[in-house]
Amino acid sequence: MPKETILVVDDEEDILELVRYNLAKEGYGVSGVTSGEEALKKITATMPDLVILDLMLPGLNGLEVCKTLKANPRTQHIPIVMLTAKGEEADVVTGLELGADDYITKPFSPRLLVARIRAVLRRKARQAVEEDSVIQIHDLVIHPGRHEVLVGGKPVDLTFTEFRILHTLARRPGWVFTRFQIVEAVRGEVYPVTDRSVDVHIVGLRRKLGPAGRFIQAVRGIGYRFKE
């Protein structure tokens, strides 16, 4: 079976070929580019399953590429493994805070590289399963894959934004989400949400859910939580 596709971004041709050779030998579909600008174009066009990103790039550096990808709803789910020199610890910390999934220091062992890539892809697969899991709380059922909500066995007609808010809250019962966190979870290019509009969406969501709307509780001065 064909494996996941990986984009390697590094301006050093020998490193690029070393990484490409070892990953292709494991069955991954591998492509490479040598600049941050090329990386963004390639990722937008092909949507790889993982990006290996050198931090020291000419022009747009790796941290800027990482920040751009994680700020875009279409690409923020793509795992990023950073390639760094040993003296770039501050950049590593910054990259991880921006949303990178792991890092590998140069020089590196090809076996270690492959093992780390496998680990990141396994985590991504587990997260995808969790994201698609059906949630049932009393007579409220949420089907993420079908984008369907049932209350007492009857379908509830929700907008995209209302569904994303409900799913975000219901996945972690009891957890308090700030309005900003809710905005980040549901934000998209087609369905923009602002923190001020979250309250409006919550009102509409509660009304549509009927008795099940009681599960969504406001937490004064913070945001909302889903409580059974």
- Looking at residue 37, its pLDDT comes to 95
Q: Which residues of 187-221 are buried (b: 16+ CB within 10 A; e: fewer)?
A: beeeeebeeeebeebbebbbebbeebbebbeeeee
- Looking at residue 191, its pLDDT comes to 43
**List of domains in the chain:** 5-131 (3.40.50.2300), 135-226 (1.10.10.10)
- Looking at residue 128, its pLDDT comes to 65
- Looking at residue 33, its pLDDT comes to 95
Residue type at 8 in one-letter notation: V
- Distances, alpha carbon 119 to alpha carbons 115, 124, 157, in Å: 6, 9, 39
Strands 148-151 and 154-155: antiparallel
pLDDT tens per residue across all 228 residues of the chain: 458 999 999 999 999 999 999 999 999 999 999 999 999 999 999 999 999 999 989 889 999 999 899 888 788 889 999 988 866 678 888 888 787 888 888 888 999 999 999 988 988 877 666 667 888 988 999 998 778 999 999 999 988 788 889 998 998 888 898 888 887 777 643 445 566 778 989 999 999 999 999 999 999 888 999 987
- Taking phi over 0 as left and psi of -120 to 50 as alpha, with beta for the rest, 164 belongs to alpha
- Looking at residue 19, its pLDDT comes to 94
Provide the CA 120 distance to its chain's centre, in angstroms. 12
Most distant CA pair in the chain: distance in Å?
Answer: 63
Residue type at 122 in one-letter notation: R
pTM of the model: 0.60
103-122 residue pLDDT tens:
888 888 999 999 999 988 98
